[in-house]
Amino acid sequence: MSQTFTHLISDCDGVLLDTEAIAFEVLQRELAASLPGIDVAAAILPRLGLTLDALLADIARHHPLSLSASDIEQLRDTVEGEVAERLQLIPGVAAAMAAVPLPRAVVSNSAGHRVRAALDKTGLAPLFAGRVFCADEVGAAKPDPALYLAASQAFGVAPQHCLVVEDSVTGVRAAVAAGMTVLGFTGAGHVADGQADKLLACGACTTFDDMQRLPELVALLCQHHKQ
């Protein structure tokens, strides 16, 4: 095969930082009163990975959810505040990322200022050398592939030379649409049963639930595609 992988792109929430479980918990609590009689957890979980606005809009298409603009901003502040306060790394992620001998970037649907602050606070920022691409700055959010295409363009490489680590269906769809190969990560705190199958179904080439395996998986894929 002539294709080789030369760069690694990672999602942030649920791959680098175990934040999705916190966001999930806060959203369940805050939306319970607005969705009486609804299984709020079941409404939120499959939509994690979307921006908050997209998540709420999609829930509202299927359930009687009505929130004002000020309600949404207050909810955003609450989620972001609790996530920042309780921030923690995915176990083993710093060593795993450092052990992958490829240039790295972060792509996220979260706000750029929040992602950069979190990377700084957790000590991950140097691993990505300022290469952070976020929906509010690029002007498009996953599942649109534009975020991933912006990252590959900044690297100066074709999308097919980029490996991606994603934890959500939304993210996998975005990376696949960009023409990239995706590793699906299922080791974060929010992951429900059957998530690995969902990631594979929307295009991930494999899944893993222990971040320590990342360097090995990247090496195997790079070796395979050099043959």
Closest by CA position to 174, among listed 147, 206, 155: 147
**pLDDT surpasses 70 at 227:** no
Model confidence at 136, in pLDDT bands (50, 70, 90)? Answer: very high
210 given a catalytic annotation: no
Sheet (strand 132-134) strand order: 132-134, 104-108, 7-10, 162-166, 181-185, 206-208
User: What topology is assigned to 7-18+88-226 in CATH?
Assistant: Rossmann fold (3.40.50)
Of 13, 18, 144, 167, the catalytic one is 13
> 98, 126 in Cβ contact below 8 A?
no
Three-class SS of residue 222?
helix
11 given a catalytic annotation: yes
> 107, 11 in Cβ contact below 8 A?
yes
> DSSP letters of 2-67?
-----EEEE-SBTTTB--HHHHHHHHHHHHGGGSTTS-HHHHHGGGBTB-HHHHHHHHHHHS----
pLDDT at position 3 is 66
Closest by CA position to 9, among listed 216, 175, 177, 221: 175
Distance of CA 137 to the CA centre of its chain: 16
**Where along the chain do its domains lie?**
7-18+88-226, 20-85
pLDDT at position 1 is 41
Of 11, 18, 144, 167, the catalytic one is 11
**pLDDT surpasses 50 at 133:** yes
**pLDDT surpasses 70 at 152:** yes
**pLDDT surpasses 70 at 53:** yes
